[in-house]
Structure 1
Amino acid sequence: MTSTHYDVIVIGTSQGGRFLPIEFARAGRKVALIERDHMGGVCVNVGCTPTKTMVASARLAYQARRGAEYGVHTGPISVDLQAVRQRKQGMVEGARLNYESRLTELQGLGLDLLLGEAHFLAPKTLEVSLQDGGTREITAPLIVIDTGARPEPLTIKGAERVPVLNSTTIIELDTLPEHLFILGGGYIGLEFGQMFRRFGSQVTIIQSRPRLLMNEDEDVSKEVAKILREEGITVLTGAMPQQVESLGEGRMQLTVHTPQGEQQLIGSHLLAATGRVPNTEALTPEAAGIHLDQAGYIQVNERLETNVSGIYALGDVKGGPAFTHVSYDDYRILRTNLLEHGSASTRDRLVPHTIFIDPQLGRVGLTENEARKQGRTIRVAKLPMNAVPRALETGEMRGFMKAIVDAETQHILGCAILGVEGGEIMTIIQVAMMGNLPYTALRDGIFTHPTLAEGLNSLFMTLDS
């Protein structure tokens, strides 16, 4: 088979991989971009864009039901899940077309788009099985892998005999589940749990670990569970699913071992949200000599290079925090180093995240637990959201602000903001951390009254009381 030689090959089109080939092509490099599914990767097609669009619909339904609290009276609230799905799909198609239009201008000018699945034949040689039939063999001295990850399959007894939803398939439902079981107490399970409860489903979240959101401090996890239970969601922690069986007529029985004993739960739908696995098998990385970790993620150094010189990986496929903004920062690192001859790295980068439950949970830096494990001398600032005037005025008083401060330097080490627009408030603190500002800068800063940001004055004043 005759090989086509390129300067650069990029496999996958997620947040990082979709921009990098454009930059290389504009720099005059001959680039092959390979995509086996939809353009834009997980975020655009089955992740951030569709789910946050649906979260917005769920929040509106929730707010409408609260209208009487604000003196606004409406009729009965119902949710048309088909219309929610159509709105979601419109957002996805718009985002996808936006990216495809950027590629169009570069095709024929140094960028070739190959629709198909790639696998390694040798360290710098790939074979692509094209969607329209046939194969192509291509080579390049520089290869970037951006194949992402997918939902981990459910392996409990009986799972193969009942319909099991995952984060990709659940957003395609057009009828509302009567009773949705969710296995997993991480951010994916919680976002979908609250969403479908607000749409009108009965929801039970089954978490095998002792509490929800195990990476957060215990007080944060406890408050999140309280908020979900207040909305009518059943939360079972320390609960291990044993088996599931069909009862016919759209019903199933889930057997769960809990601290209180074995329980049989009857429901209509089952969502597995217990984790994700990397898309590396089809790549045959062993043919290139690429090292993987025990979970199958590609191992990279702080410059995102694998053990094979000239082969890099970015985004979820390399492990670590599985966030779109991490993938985008990976792209910036590779752009800086490979195109601008810089020396960017992942070392000590500050990675924030926001969980889009309502109220949001925004977090960056160290948790209180992490700081204490490191032996740091810290001070903890904490303020309930009902002490923030803007939260009171808008009736959004659930949650709290929490910040961890180094007792010696007065620098902020991290924060968790569980409250209305928690991700936005967290970002203000993140910027202060990036600038190495002491907590007093936010304590004494002049913020517009009444805004949520003004609550930062009060949060950091608690350290002086």
Structure 2
Amino acid sequence: MIEDSVETFDAIIIGSGQAGNPLALALAKEKWKVALVEKAALGGTCVNTGCTPTKAYVASARAAWAVSNAPNLGIEVLTSPKINLKAIKKRKDKLVNESRIGIRKALNDSSQISMIRGTATFIDKTKVKVGTRILKSSKIFMNVGARARIPEGFEDVDYLTNTSILQLDKIPDDLIIVGGSYIGLEFAQIFKRLGSKVTVLEMGNALISREDKHTSETVREILENEGVKVICGAKCLKGKAKKSGKIGVTFHKDGKDKEIYGTHLLIATGRLPNSDLLKPENAGLQLNEKGYFQVNEKLETNITGIYALGDCNGKGAFTHTSYNDFEIMQDQLFGGKKRTLNDRIINYALYIDPPLGRAGMTLKEAKETGKKLLFARMSMSNISRAKEKGETQGQMEVIVDADSEQILGAAVLGTGGDEIIGTFLTAMYGKISYKALINSVQTHPTVTELIPTLLQQLKPLDE
């Protein structure tokens, strides 16, 4: 290697996701010379194949449902809604492109940032190769995200992933979804509402196995009420091409071999970090058993000066956790060096309709702490606002540490749940006693006004 051919930077950022882009801009503001490497579209998963496009589809599916549900609210609909997936996709593409353009403009406006297109691989602890270019820095930040995990047995069939399903311009007649977790369930309801026949196959005995049993059961009930067929406990799943052009999936359940077939197949069996694409072994980087970069509470890997942010560090698989990684990194570099991963309270949403918002621990996780717990759960059917909207499915629940009076976890599965969970999350970050929320006066009529009532129902959790 000729040293003169090496391009030296103050920092190299690999990946322009929800941590990489703001970090590049923050470093540039401090007059760092930054190389930002991206092998695909700007914006990462959130902008291109995650939050922005999927929630646009959720909104379209919700509109279709609202038309179909209108007679229940006294509104007569003379004709069935006509679904135009090309128009839905066009709207989604417009939102995605607007986000990309905004990111590109912000990055191009900074003379400190060099945008480099291509796949980066490590040469050693301070150098990476992108095409024929060799970049060098004592500070390297990885924000490379994750990709769909494809299980063995589906190599010979034409399957869709969360990325390719967003490129369809015709509604699938019969959609099979392998994987009953967050991504799979969101697409299940979306395409059922848009007119597909949908079957979900899940290897485990319950959907979204991370959630508590009662939450999983309610989610399944919501989907089945809309006509989604759910099959749990489906083992030994394999894809099978049919002569008719359809796609079959074989599986073992209840001691019998079974087979179903459809026109389209979506694989939604989890995500794989893109860490392996970087040839991390060349830099001596350590990965855990699931392929994530091992980081400390300050996001630094086992190699000094190399950091992992976002999905590839296994500390969160969401846009908000990725952006928080940027905030931690910014504070560690230029701030008070006080922010760490230890400050973060896990929170996320499942965007079926009605949505699930979760903050902190599940009930199962709370029991494992050995703390003295208080617990309450109330049905959405007890809320005036939910009744008035005609959307009473789901429940709200909260877990409290009886000794400290701190809220340990909460879940809102019901109309507005993705927004309402923020009230609990704010109380948790503020370390507010649950008694303060009991005495709060919430606006009527809202779903949030159930929170004080819910907290009044707290009782010691039976062992």
Mark yes or no: TM-score above 0.5.
Answer: yes
Code of the aligned partner of 1:114:
I
- List per-residue Cα deviations over 1:348-393 (Å, max 9, x = no partner): 4212101101110000111111111221211211110011111111
| Superposition deviation, residue 73 in structure 1 | 1.7
CA distance in 2, matches of 1:423, 1:442: 19
- List per-residue Cα deviations over 1:176-235 (Å, max 9, x = no partner): 111111111110010001111101111111111110111111110011111111011111
User: Residue 49 of structure 1 is aligned with which of 44, 49, 52?
Assistant: 52
2:88 alignment partner in structure 1:
84
CA distance in 2, matches of 1:251, 1:438: 57
CA distance in 2, matches of 1:65, 1:185: 25
3-state SS of 1:84 partner? helix
- List per-residue Cα deviations over 1:155-180 (Å, max 9, x = no partner): 11xx2222111111111111111111
Contact 2:358–2:412, Cα closer than 8 Å, also in 1? yes
Q: Which runs of 4+ in 1 moved over 6 A?
A: none
Code of the aligned partner of 1:78:
K
| Superposition deviation, residue 252 in structure 1 | 2.1
CA distance in 1, matches of 2:258, 2:278: 42
Residues 282-321 of structure 1 correspond to what in structure 2 (within 5 A)? Answer: 282-321=277-316
- How has the CA–CA distance of structure 1 residues 65 and 358 changed in structure 2, closer, same or farther, with 3 Å as cutoff? same
- List per-residue Cα deviations over 1:217-266 (Å, max 9, x = no partner): 11100111111110111111111243222223431222121126322212
CA distance in 1, matches of 2:339, 2:14: 22
Residues 205-224 of structure 1 correspond to what in structure 2 (within 5 A)? Answer: 205-224=200-219
Contact 1:278–1:297, Cα closer than 8 Å, also in 2? yes
3-state SS of 1:122 partner? coil
2:119 alignment partner in structure 1:
117
3-state SS of 1:347 partner? helix
1:392 alignment partner in structure 2:
387
Code of the aligned partner of 2:113:
L
2:160 alignment partner in structure 1:
165
1:94 alignment partner in structure 2:
98
Contact 1:244–1:255, Cα closer than 8 Å, also in 2? yes
- List per-residue Cα deviations over 1:252-306 (Å, max 9, x = no partner): 2221211263222121111111111111223111111111112221111110001
Contact 2:144–2:312, Cα closer than 8 Å, also in 1? yes
Moved more, 404-413 or 192-201: 404-413
Residues 92-241 of structure 1 correspond to what in structure 2 (within 5 A)? Answer: 92-106=96-110, 109-129=111-131, 135-156=132-153, 159-241=154-236
CA distance in 2, matches of 1:88, 1:241: 36
Contact 2:177–2:199, Cα closer than 8 Å, also in 1? yes
Gaps of 5+ in 2: none
- How has the CA–CA distance of structure 1 residues 429 and 136 changed in structure 2, closer, same or farther, with 3 Å as cutoff? same
Does residue 403 of the first structure (1) align with residue 398 of the second (2)?
A: yes
Code of the aligned partner of 1:286:
E
2:325 alignment partner in structure 1:
330
Residues 339-354 of structure 1 correspond to what in structure 2 (within 5 A)? Answer: 339-340=334-335, 342-354=337-349
Moved more, 338-347 or 213-222: 338-347
User: Residue 457 of structure 2 is aligned with which of 445, 459, 462?
Assistant: 462
CA distance in 2, matches of 1:367, 1:294: 24
Code of the aligned partner of 2:145:
G
CA distance in 2, matches of 1:139, 1:154: 36
- How has the CA–CA distance of structure 1 residues 231 and 241 changed in structure 2, closer, same or farther, with 3 Å as cutoff? farther
CA distance in 1, matches of 2:134, 2:267: 37
2:240 alignment partner in structure 1:
245
CA distance in 2, matches of 1:160, 1:351: 35
Contact 2:152–2:238, Cα closer than 8 Å, also in 1? no
1:132 alignment partner in structure 2:
none
User: Residue 37 of structure 2 is aligned with which of 34, 39, 47?
Assistant: 34
CA distance in 2, matches of 1:258, 1:357: 27
Gaps of 5+ in 1: 130-134
Contact 1:152–1:274, Cα closer than 8 Å, also in 2? yes
CA distance in 2, matches of 1:464, 1:330: 37
Code of the aligned partner of 2:93:
Q
Residues 354-373 of structure 1 correspond to what in structure 2 (within 5 A)? Answer: 354-373=349-368
Contact 1:6–1:30, Cα closer than 8 Å, also in 2? yes
Contact 2:374–2:459, Cα closer than 8 Å, also in 1? no
| Superposition deviation, residue 417 in structure 1 | 0.6
CA distance in 1, matches of 2:116, 2:75: 54
Residues 62-77 of structure 1 correspond to what in structure 2 (within 5 A)? Answer: 62-74=65-77, 75-77=79-81
CA RMSD, aligned part only? 1.4
Contact 1:206–1:240, Cα closer than 8 Å, also in 2? no
Code of the aligned partner of 1:89:
D
